[in-house]
Chains A and B, each alone.
Chain A
Amino acid sequence: MNITIAEKIRFYYGFIYLWHKENGSQTIERMESNQLNKDEGHSARIQEYLKIIANLPHPSKAELGEIYEIAQLVRSGMLEWNYCEKYLIDLSLGEVAWKIFELKKGIDTLPKKHDFTRVKSKEKYIYQGEEYWQEAVKSYQDFPNNNERNIGGRIALIDTNWEFQKESGLNERVLFRDLEELNFVEVTEADTLNRLVEDEQISIISIKVK
């Protein structure tokens, strides 16, 4: 099963959410018992905490941005009071918050746009047949392909180039053409299926031709 980074972030956020929903009263007790905290802003801080807890978004519906804000409050903010508490797993809420930010780095560094210029047109002198497929795999190896996420294009390039080769009537001299020469163009518009998958807004479960 393909679990996205976004799903992992929501999973970890669930521990913060559940702990505070079930044990929020412990935070109030800690705030009450902390003499250093009993200044003019004391009751306002308690009210602020209660407001945050009341408005915690459910893990299945939370936007990633909301989760990052809450995780930041656990690291250094109103939810830091319970930094060391553990809930169901052997990680403290503070460690869970750090885990969320580690995962966020994974999303931030996902390739947003591929450099298709690396797939240059190449010319080889080879016999066709089995040798074609071996050379084609090498020639198009830079083209991104991810069968688990159901996104790619390398095989379509290899197959289409093979057809172009047959149509060209060339013997032995095989060209491995780039996107443009194969009459393809990169899809760059926002909100297209491949862009949404790249940004992890959408996961493709399956694509089947019938």
Chain B
Amino acid sequence: MSWTTEITIKNNLNRVSKCKIPKGQVFENKQIGSGKQNVAAAREYVFDVPPNSTITVEIEVLCINQHLSSPSGSYNVAYFKVDKDFNNQQELWSIMKPQK
């Protein structure tokens, strides 16, 4: 099952900004110990943000923490992404385990 993440961003420049969200980009829930899943972008997204404008984009995400509860609420974009490729939720959960 996938989830929708709604991202509202503002372009501070007087020109179009091309913005990329790579596949596997991690978004973290803001509250420590909330027990809510963190999520990763299900695929790559590329979009333009018009000059000095605020836009909202919706992207599909998958959960990265199998044992935590469903994601919801406010999130941060993380400085990192999942470093292996995946095609669905089950594959992503398999990646997010320690190597035995």
Show the binding face of A for B, using Cβ within 8 Å: 4, 6-7, 57, 60-63, 114, 116, 133, 137, 144-147, 150-156, 158-160, 163-164, 166-168, 179-187, 189, 191-194, 196-197, 200-210
What is the chain A residue whose CB lies nearest that of B35?
A: A159
- B interface bracket (residues with beta carbon within 8 Å of A): 35 or more
Among A167, A181, A182, A208, contact of B74 (Cβ-Cβ < 8 Å): A208
Show the binding face of B for A, using Cβ within 8 Å: 3-15, 17-22, 25-33, 37-39, 49, 51-52, 54, 61, 64-68, 71-84, 95-98
**Across chains A and B, which 5 residue pairs bring their CB atoms closest together, nearest first?**
A153-B78, A156-B28, A185-B83, A205-B8, A156-B38
A201-B11 in contact (CB<8A): yes
Assembly CA distance A156 to B33 (angstroms): 10
Contacts of B20 in A (CB 8 A): 189, 191-193
With A163-B65, A163-B67, A192-B22 in contact, do A153 and B28 touch (Cβ < 8 Å)? yes
Contacts of B54 in A (CB 8 A): 205
What is the chain B residue whose CB lies nearest that of A61?
A: B14
A208-B75 in contact (CB<8A): yes
What is the chain B residue whose CB lies nearest that of A60?
A: B52
B19-A196 in contact (CB<8A): yes
B38-A159 in contact (CB<8A): yes
What is the chain A residue whose CB lies nearest that of B95?
A: A183
Contacts of A204 in B (CB 8 A): 7-9, 77
Contacts of A166 in B (CB 8 A): 67
8 pairs, CB–CB < 8 Å, chain A vs chain B: A146-B76, A152-B76, A163-B66, A193-B77, A196-B17, A202-B9, A203-B12, A205-B8
Contacts of A210 in B (CB 8 A): 3-6, 72
10 further interface pairs, Cβ-Cβ under 8 Å (given A183-B82, A205-B8): A147-B30, A155-B29, A155-B38, A160-B96, A163-B67, A189-B22, A191-B17, A192-B21, A202-B12, A209-B61
Among B14, B75, B78, B84, contact of A209 (Cβ-Cβ < 8 Å): B75
With A133-B33, A179-B80 in contact, do A209 and B73 touch (Cβ < 8 Å)? yes
B26-A156 in contact (CB<8A): yes
A59 nearest CB across to chain B (Å): 10
Contacts of B38 in A (CB 8 A): 155-156, 159-160
Contacts of A62 in B (CB 8 A): 14
Among A6, A61, A187, contact of B51 (Cβ-Cβ < 8 Å): A61
B54 nearest CB across to chain A (Å): 6
Contacts of A203 in B (CB 8 A): 9-10, 12
Among A183, A187, A206, contact of B79 (Cβ-Cβ < 8 Å): A187
A193-B21 in contact (CB<8A): yes
